[in-house]
Amino acid sequence: MASAQPAFNHNPFPCYIRYPVLALTYVLINPLLWLVDKAGYSDRLWAAIGHKMRQELIAGHDFGDYRPTKHDVVVCAYPKCGQNWTLQITYQIAMRGNGEFKHIHDMIPWPDWAKQDIVVPLSDDTARKAAPTGLRVIKTHLEWERVPYTAEARYICILRDPKDSFVSNYHFIRDVMLGPLMPSVPVWLRLFFSDAAPFIWSKHLHGYWKNRHLPNLLILTFEEMKQDLPKAVQRIAEFMGVELTQDEFDQVCEKSSFTYMKGIDDKFKPPALSPWSSPNRQMIRRGASGGSSELLSQEQQRFIDTRSKADLERIGSDFPYDDVWGDQADAGKSRTATESPRTA
């Protein structure tokens, strides 16, 4: 059963807008950006843009007065950490493997998304009423402190190696928003770890990790989910209090596989956020772990490991970074999934 809320508008910028903007970009804007970079002001420019984005995210894009109920499963993650994959798993569990939708956000609210006119609102109860389990899934990128906590609701947090998250983030922002304006990897890397970033990776992780003892908070890593999808589905179903039949379990696993989700990418596809957005943008790109070497040098990978650990230590986090992700840049190859943190 679909919500009455309008689906994501995938192509809000017609050709008569896109083409002139692209022409202006290559003729005027990109040369100006090149001069800014040569003058040594790129970091300042993108820091200012990052600050603006962060202010907009903080200014009113949250749960408002809503308090999650026993019917709600809130899926929390830093951007590009496997959240849409987890939304598919949780939604299919709630629907006992029979979940169908035109777009994922016709059924799953995303309260911190700036364009609330194209996502189903928290006040819409359609998904819960349609679910045989009586459960509804909610998406959020917000830090723990900004997510309303109740003992009745369930919260699932997905963590991912920041090296892989960075690479996925870089491709996503380029394809969905900035296109030919996308800065170089070194500039974006410095922004990623600055206070100007829309989301602060270490703060985001620490907020959830320090509350891992809560019985209604489940923490999983992207890597362990990739390593054993059926086990992850079983853990999530048990956490949601849903006992699946074997047929239902197999259906959830099938619909949560990379092959299946890649085939329905359009149902997760993000909207074009600017005239520079790629017509070929996608949400389900590679679905892999340990592939940061496709974009990052070994030195950049080591920098991310070192900086991530230092930031966590600075804010007093006891998250076992080396045990979970370690420093695999020295090997110059992709990392396999490692043992995940426990929620106990």
Tokens matching residue 191: 């922004």
Cα distance between residue 142 and residue 157, in whole Å: 11
Q: Single out the residue of 129, 131, 61, 120 nearest to residue 90, CA to CA.
A: 131
Residue 339: CA atoms inside 13 Å, Cβ hemisphere, count? 5
Tens of pLDDT, residues 154-192: 999 999 999 999 999 998 888 888 888 899 999 999 989
Residue 6 has pLDDT above 50, yes or no: no
The whole-angstrom distance between residue 168's C-alpha and the CA centroid of its chain comes to 9
Return the residue matching tokens 């609210």: 109
Cα distance between residue 214 and residue 212, in whole Å: 5
Tokens matching residue 290: 């340990």
pLDDT of residue 4: 43
Return the residue matching tokens 């929620």: 343
Q: Which of 54-63, 130-139, 182-191 has the lowest mean pLDDT?
A: 54-63
User: Assign residue 225 a region: left if phi > 0, alpha if psi is -120 to 50, beta otherwise?
Assistant: alpha
What are the phi and psi torsion angles at 101 (to 5°)?
Answer: -160, 155
Q: How far is CA 324 from CA 121, 220, 315, 327, in A?
A: 36, 11, 19, 10
CATH class of 72-331: alpha beta
Average pLDDT over all residues of the chain: 85
What are the phi and psi torsion angles at 139 (to 5°)?
Answer: -105, 140
What are the phi and psi torsion angles at 64 (to 5°)?
Answer: 60, -130
Residues 6 or more apart from 112 whose CB is under 8 A from it?
57, 61, 62, 140, 141, 142, 146
Cα distance between residue 337 and residue 305, in whole Å: 16
Q: How far is CA 42 from CA 183, 186, 203, 277, in A?
A: 8, 11, 25, 21
Q: For residue 331, name the pLDDT band (cuts at 50, 70, 90).
A: very low
Q: Where are the domains of the chain?
A: 72-331
Cα distance between residue 198 and residue 191, in whole Å: 9
Q: Which of 113-122, 168-177, 255-264, 292-301 has the lowest mean pLDDT?
A: 113-122
Q: Single out the residue of 150, 65, 61, 67 nearest to residue 111, CA to CA.
A: 61
Higher pLDDT residue, 235 or 168?
235
